[in-house]
Chains A and B, each alone.
Chain A
Amino acid sequence: MTPDSDVQPFVFLGCAPVRELLGHEARDARELAAELARVPDESTFCHTAGGLLRRAVLPEAYPNDFAQWAGTELHDRRLAERLALVDMFDAGSLEAVRSELIGVLEDHLRHAPGPLPRCQDEPFSFCRLHVVPVPSGHQARTLAEFRDALAEVDASALFYHLVEARYRLGRGRGDFAEWVAAMGRPELADRLARVDPFVGSLERIRDRYLAALDEAAERPRR
């Protein structure tokens, strides 16, 4: 087991997002599928996982922008529900999530009865998310310090270490779980890695991480 003192301290990075409009727009499901095939992977990221940075307070809101738009602008509840179930965090890669979204749209188009609903107000405007990482000023050398820092940091730090690191930068199970594993706590690392970012907000994810860390602190280390 790795002694804690041999592990580099965990340096928390928050991130400041800059949202850029791309020139791609869609007014119905067919255009959405066509444009999804054209936009860069970063745009898929922006409209799925990136939503966590600006998630509304409504817990039952659709978890990605595509589903939200299908529901509110196209009033196509069936399509919205199907798009909502595409799980960025489960798909494995940005390319996979894009394929899955296009697959849902194409299947929907094949089976949709009658003319396609078109948006009345706002077309779907594709964006991309630039993320500027900045040290939050928090460092942790022990699990206790890690827990306390996690309770304090700006929510964007959770996004950076759990979502940006894992799904855009390809850093394993996310920075938190990898560091905890390096600290000689593989079971706790597994538990943290299993916290599902798909449901809820960054604050809810923070609460689950803190609960797991608190429980681990009470339990004797095996």
Chain B
Amino acid sequence: MPPTAVKLDDYRAVAPRGAVDFLVRMGERLRGRRFVHVSATRYGGGIVETLNRLVPILNDLGIETAWDIVIGGADFDASVSALGKALGGVEQVIPPERLERLRAVSAANVPRLALDADLVVAHGVAPLLLVDARPSSGRWVWAHPSDLSSPQPGLWPALRSSVQRYDAVVLSLAKFAPPLPVPRFLIQPSIDPLSDRNRDMSRAEQAALLDRLRVPRDKPILLHVGPFERRRDPLGAINVFRLVRKHHDARLVVAGTGPGEPDVLAEAREAVGGEPDVLVVELPPDPGLEINALERAATVVIQKPLHADFGLDVATAMWKAKPVVGSLAGGIPFQIVPHATGYTVDSVEGAAFRIRHLLSNPELIGRMGAAGREHVRRNLLITRHLGDYLALLAHLTS
């Protein structure tokens, strides 16, 4: 669902003290600069959701900001998807002709796009090759928040000449960075505290949503949120719960988002069998409000993917003041402050041990939850992300 119009002022109640005023001042300093974002689509989560919020705010601040998308056919979309997976290290078949077709579609898009700007940010794989036809003025940045550290062998040499045409690359974590001859900046993704997934919610609204999902609230809820995909390890969450349940009367909710992998959903259902204290919930499309209600109802949140990108599901749970027990995958260790906002663990047993510890010490749950919310407020809100973009614009175009 497209976000409702939100002004920067609306964030005053949730951003750190003085942060919104400072963003306004930064905007004044950069007024008149032209900032262009290009991505694959305008619909979806991740950076697209962030841009839906930030582009109008940047314009309100006086920075002329445009956002456009790369248009291609089904073959282009499939090639972009394959290239994205290959850059993430998942083996794909990408013959040179496929890359050439990608270059041709990118070149065909260039005349349609208004790329004359002080700073152009190409988000993700789809607009990567636009840089081959970049104008001589302005600075260009490629932003790719996912892991680029172990791409499919042979891929970088084919892309290197294009990536080198950028003035800089923006990554989310140092450990995701490939060696590149251009400056590499670090900007972490963020959550929007005013989105459906994160906004405040009345008890009545929360209860109605949980009733609709048929989630009872008679016991402490352990929550696992994520697509039914093997790499997200929903079966691992069920195994964690079985170890916890020996000692605590609790309930596990495994809530699945997105299309996922049908066989993993079937395996999860089979693993649960008839256990009444494990609920496998298939969330509707666009499930922001439902996840919001579930996270608010949870006592502890489990995020233990085997492989992850930045993994903002951790931050959204912490924003609801919930301790998170998470694996060491992707950006999860960056978000959890061990022993302060939750725990990072290496195994099913480790997760079970930490959850048992939390359920046995309920005062810790409140303390860690509060610390987690503050940690997110300072480091992982969209207001920080806006400041990072303004700083990048100032730094690269001064």
Residues from chain B with Cβ under 8 Å of A58 in the complex? 337, 339-340, 371
**Contact present for A14 and B340 (CB under 8 Å):** no
Question: Contact partner of B175 among A61, A122, A136, CB < 8 A?
Answer: A122
Q: Is A211 an interface residue (CB 8 A)?
A: no
Question: How many angstroms between the C-alpha atoms of A131 and B17 in the bound complex?
Answer: 20
0/1 interface trace, chain A 143-164, chain B, CB 8 Å (1 if under): 0000000001111110000000
Chain A, range 61-82, C-beta contacts under 8 Å to B: 61, 72
Minimum CB–CB distance from B288 to chain A (whole Å) comes to 26
| Of B41-49, B79-87, B178-186, B357-365, the one with at least 4 CB within 8 A of chain A | B178-186
Other-chain residue from B29, B177, B183, B341 in contact with A57 (beta carbon distance below 8 A): B341
B247 interface hit (Cβ, 8 Å):
no
- Tell me if B22 counts as interface (CB < 8 A to partner A): yes
Report the Cα distance A17→B387, complex, angstroms. 9
B186 close to A132 (CB less than 8 A): no
Stretch at the interface among A18-26, A110-118, A169-177: A18-26
User: Given that A152-B18, A154-B22 are contacting pairs, would A57 and B371 also be in contact in the complex, using a CB cutoff of 8 Å?
Assistant: yes
Contact string against A for B residues 162-194, beta-carbon threshold 8 Å, 1 for contact and 0 otherwise:
000000000100110101000111110000000
Given contacts A20-B183, A58-B337, A127-B174, contact A136 B21 (CB under 8 A): yes
Min CB gap B15→A, angstroms: 10
Known: A54-B379, A57-B341, A132-B394. A154 touches B184 (CB 8 A): no
Q: Does A3 contact B (CB under 8 A)?
A: no
Q: Given A56-B340, A134-B29, do A156 and B175 touch, yes or no (CB 8 Å)?
A: no
* A155 with B18: CB separation less than 8 A: yes
Distance (whole angstroms) from the CB of B118 to the closest CB of chain A? 15
Q: Interface size (A, Cβ < 8 Å)? A: 31
Within 8 A of A (CB), among B1-49: 16-19, 21-22, 24-26, 29
Q: A54-B379, A61-B337, A125-B177 are in contact. Are A136 and B392 (CB under 8 A)?
A: no
Chain A's closest residue to B179 (CB) is: A23
Contact across chains for A134 and B22 when beta carbons are under 8 A apart: yes
A17-B391, A122-B175, A125-B175 in contact; A157/B18 too (CB < 8 A)? yes
In the complex, residue of chain A having the shortest beta-carbon distance to the beta carbon of B384: A54
A19-B185, A122-B174 given; A57·B18 CB < 8 A: no
Question: How far is it, in angstroms, between the C-alpha of A156 and the C-alpha of B26 when the chains are bound?
Answer: 12
> Which residue of B18, B341, B375 contacts A154 across the interface (Cβ within 8 Å)?
B18
Q: In whole angstroms, what is the CA distance A136 to B28 when docked? A: 11
The smallest C-beta distance from B304 to any residue of chain A, in angstroms, reads: 15
Bound state CA distance, A134 and B339, in angstroms?
36
A22-65 vs B: 1/0 string, CB under 8 Å?
A: 01000000000000000000000000000000101110010000
Residues of B within 8 A of A122 (CB): 174-175, 333
Interfacial residues of chain A within 106-141, with CB under 8 A of chain B in the complex = 121-123, 125, 127, 130, 132, 134-137
Q: A165 near B: Cβ within 8 Å?
A: no
Known: A21-B177, A127-B174, A153-B18. A136 touches B25 (CB 8 A): yes
In residues 99-115 of chain B, which contact A (Cβ within 8 Å)? Answer: none
Shortest B23–chain A CB gap in Å is 9
Instruction: Tell me if A104 counts as interface (CB < 8 A to partner B).
Output: no
Give the B-binding residues of A (Cβ under 8 A).
Answer: 14, 16-21, 23, 54, 56-58, 61, 72, 121-123, 125, 127, 130, 132, 134-137, 152-157
Chain B residues in the interface with A (C-beta under 8 A): 16-19, 21-22, 24-26, 29, 171, 174-175, 177, 179, 183-187, 328, 333, 337-341, 371, 374-375, 378-379, 387-388, 390-392, 394-395, 398
4 additional A-B residue pairs with CB within 8 Å, beyond A18-B395, A136-B21, A137-B24: A19-B186, A134-B22, A134-B394, A152-B21
What are 6 sample pairs from A and B whose C-beta atoms fall under 8 A apart? A18-B388, A21-B186, A56-B340, A58-B339, A136-B18, A137-B24
